């Protein structure tokens, strides 16, 4: 009988801790349609995107690009915002894998790492990481476009 009471108390404590943690986390999820704007030789490529889901708009920069055996790696930073006044900045690594038989087109995977010191409004104090994957078309320098799906969780 005593073990059952202890087990119930432990379970209740665990459930309340989990609920408190869940209240401080936000599920990230949605779709982004990025456009890329080269600023010239040696300059970052600017990113502007409309998003659906948890965040509504994003902008960013591709700071550096390296060729790999399978495509490209990009050092990136992004700025995300929501309609309720929340915003945050991320530092990222984008991995682009060339699509066989489709020159200039790549599968893209990005890991977004929140910088807790650059969170604002309703998202102040959040940290964590989320990911996206999708396709980008980099064939025409005057029309660099993509489509990505993002998901994950950030917490305060």
- Long-range residue pairs from 140-144, CB within 8 A, at least 24 positions apart, any chain: 140/104, 141/38, 144/35, 144/36, 144/37, 144/38, 144/45
Domain boundaries, position 121? 27-155
Q: Is residue 19 part of a domain?
A: no
Strands of 54-86 (E only): list them.
Answer: 57-67, 71-81
Q: Is residue 4 part of a domain?
A: no
Q: Is residue 150 part of a domain?
A: yes
Q: Is residue 13 part of a domain?
A: no
Per-residue pLDDT reduced to its tens digit, 20-50: 445 699 999 999 999 999 888 888 899 999 9
Domains of the chain: total = 1
Identify the pLDDT of residue 5. 57
Q: Is residue 18 part of a domain?
A: no
Per-residue pLDDT reduced to its tens digit, 116-130: 999 999 999 999 999
């Amino acid at each position: 009988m005593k073990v059952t009471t202890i087990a119930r108390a432990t379970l209740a404590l665990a459930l309340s801790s989990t609920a408190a943690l869940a209240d401080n986390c936000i599920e990230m999820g949605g779709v982004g349609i990025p456009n890329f704007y080269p600023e010239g030789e040696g300059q970052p490529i600017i990113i502007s995107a409309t998003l659906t889901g948890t965040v509504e708009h994003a902008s960013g920069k591709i700071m550096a690009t390296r060729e790999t055996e399978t495509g490209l790696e990009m050092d990136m930073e992004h700025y995300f915002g929501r309609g309720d006044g929340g915003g945050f900045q991320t530092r990222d690594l984008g991995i682009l894998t060339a699509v066989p038989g489709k020159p200039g087109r790549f599968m893209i995977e990005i890991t977004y790492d929140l910088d807790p010191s650059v969170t604002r409004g309703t998202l102040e104090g959040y940290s964590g990481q989320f990911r996206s994957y999708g396709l980008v078309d980099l064939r025409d320098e005057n029309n660099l476009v993509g489509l990505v799906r993002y998901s994950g969780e950030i917490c305060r």
